[in-house]
């Protein structure tokens, strides 16, 4: 009799545990999905960046779907020291092996792609060198190459790299929000005092996000600029402290806003040292972003503005950027953006 009672009690305990256990679900916001294999072809933006005019796609191996869904944007090319990428593909001798290159005529900006393996997908290699910039380029000389999934609400006539908005959890909907990627930084340097003085000279590696509040600034309107750009600094060649540094607040309606964080703000992480091998990151940024929403400078008075349930993820970019005289040489692969519910 005692055995029966004990067995019954054990069964009830197990049933209770099973009933209370909820399986976590991961939702990939990128069409790459769990495999996170970058396609071998991308669009590029022209030197004078616009949100509509893309060129390409460029590459050697077409995705199975026929749509790449990814773009390399060239951001802020103001001076003679920063020519745009050519639209002529250098196929490196073999035009079917997935190894190809686009470079600027002066060789200062280079985008290389290599088809690593069926498991890894394509590796994108970003190389920049603005040593020898002219004095006029010092103060306003950001030269950025941003690898990013195409955002369909901006690039209306191009294939999206994201799943539909209706399938994306808001920041508040998810229990966790993660960005995962692999990066190998071979070089990240700058020099002071030759042409440009400190602090204008810099190379940085950044993972950036765009979020938009579609409750206070509805889709189809978007006149209030209720957008936040969150930049996570993986490498700053000056080793500056950027934690919680707001850098943008120019619109007549308050926004858009931008904020930088060093990667050290996440426990156990630190800026990557050039010359290392690939470093694998998987960062849950939900709590940090929710905290920053409460620190937006000069926010709108609408109480819906700071509610995480109203903020959708609208963009992602993996960036190499130089200012003044800087050099960068890095590789990105296997990016993933996902929510856990």
Measured on CA atoms in the order 155, 252, 206, 268, is the torsion positive or negative? negative
Asked if residue 176 has pLDDT above 50, the reply is: yes
d(CA 265, CA 288): 9
Query: What pLDDT does 298 receive?
Result: 85
d(CA 213, CA 222): 9
Within the chain, strands assigned E span 26-28, 41-44, 55-59, 70-75, 100-103, 109-117, 121-129, 143-149, 176-190, 202-213, 227-236, 245-249, 257-262, 279-284, 311-323, 326-340
State pLDDT tens for residues 46-71.
755 555 678 889 999 888 777 789 99
State pLDDT tens for residues 203-262.
999 999 999 999 999 876 667 889 999 999 999 999 988 888 887 666 666 778 999 999
* CB neighbours of residue 53 within 10 Å: 11
Measured on CA atoms in the order 146, 149, 154, 158, is the torsion positive or negative? positive
Residue ranges and CATH numbers for the domains of the chain are 30-340 (2.60.120)
In this structure, are residues 245 and 209 in contact, taking their beta carbons and an 8 Å threshold? no
Asked if residue 166 has pLDDT above 80, the reply is: yes
What's the number of CA atoms in the CB half-sphere (13 Å) around residue 36?
18
In this structure, are residues 142 and 76 in contact, taking their beta carbons and an 8 Å threshold? yes
End-to-end CA distance of the chain: 44
Query: What pLDDT does 52 receive?
Result: 63
Q: Which residues of 155-167 are buried (b: 16+ CB within 10 A; e: fewer)?
A: beebbbbbeeeee
d(CA 293, CA 307): 8
Between 4 and 40, whose confidence is greater? 40
CA 102 vs CA 57, 108, 132: distances in Å: 12, 11, 22
> Residue 228's closest CA among 167, 313, 153, 304?
313
Query: What pLDDT does 241 receive?
Result: 84
Range among 17-21, 112-116, 285-289, 324-328 rated most confident: 285-289
Q: Residue 11 phi/psi, 5° resolution?
A: -65, -45
Structure tokens at 329: 């040489």
Tell me the β-bridge partners of 235: 205
Asked if residue 29 has pLDDT above 70, the reply is: yes
Query: What pLDDT does 18 receive?
Result: 47
Q: What angle do CA 287, 290, 294 make, to 5 degrees?
A: 140
> Residue 284's closest CA among 229, 338, 246?
338
In this structure, are residues 87 and 58 in contact, taking their beta carbons and an 8 Å threshold? yes
d(CA 264, CA 327): 23
Instruction: Give me the residue label for tokens 């978007």.
Output: 222
Structure tokens at 337: 């953006």
Measured on CA atoms in the order 305, 248, 331, 161, is the torsion positive or negative? positive
Between 120 and 76, whose confidence is greater? 120
d(CA 183, CA 113): 14
State pLDDT tens for residues 246-300.
876 666 667 789 999 999 999 999 999 898 789 999 999 999 999 999 999 888 8
**Average pLDDT, whole number, for the chain?**
86
CA 173 vs CA 176, 211, 338, 339: distances in Å: 9, 14, 12, 9
């Amino acid at each position: 009799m005692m055995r029966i009672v004990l067995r019954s009690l054990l069964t009830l305990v197990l049933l209770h545990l099973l009933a209370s256990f909820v399986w976590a679900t991961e939702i990939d916001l990128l069409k790459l999905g769990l495999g996170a294999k970058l396609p071998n072809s991308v669009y590029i933006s022209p030197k004078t960046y616009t949100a509509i005019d893309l060129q390409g796609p460029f590459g050697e191996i077409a995705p199975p779907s026929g749509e790449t869904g990814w773009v390399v944007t060239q951001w802020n090319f103001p001076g003679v020291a920063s020519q745009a990428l050519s639209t002529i593909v250098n196929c490196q001798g073999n035009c079917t092996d997935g190894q190809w290159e686009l470079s600027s005529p002066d060789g200062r900006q280079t985008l290389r792609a290599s088809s690593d393996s069926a498991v890894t997908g394509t590796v994108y290699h970003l190389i920049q060198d603005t040593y020898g910039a002219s004095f006029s380029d010092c103060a306003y000389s950001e030269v950025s190459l941003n690898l990013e999934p195409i955002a369909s609400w901006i690039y209306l006539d191009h294939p999206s790299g994201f799943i539909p908005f209706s399938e994306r959890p808001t920041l508040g909907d998810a229990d966790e929000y993660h960005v995962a990627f692999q990066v190998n930084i071979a070089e990240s340097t700058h020099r002071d005092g030759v042409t440009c003085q400190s602090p204008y000279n810099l190379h940085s590696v950044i993972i950036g996000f765009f979020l938009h509040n579609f409750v206070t600034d509805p889709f189809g309107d978007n006149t209030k600029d209720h957008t936040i750009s969150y930049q996570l600094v993986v490498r700053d060649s000056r080793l500056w402290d950027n934690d919680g540094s707001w850098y943008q607040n120019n619109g007549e309606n308050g926004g858009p806003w931008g904020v930088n964080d060093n990667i050290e703000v996440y426990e156990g992480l630190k800026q990557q040292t050039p010359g290392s091998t690939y470093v694998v990151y998987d960062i849950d940024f939900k709590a940090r972003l929710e905290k920053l929403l409460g620190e937006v400078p000069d926010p709108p008075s609408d109480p819906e503005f700071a509610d995480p349930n109203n903020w959708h993820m609208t963009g992602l970019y993996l960036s190499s950027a130089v200012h003044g005289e800087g050099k960068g040489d890095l590789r990105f692969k296997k990016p993933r953006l996902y929510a856990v519910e």
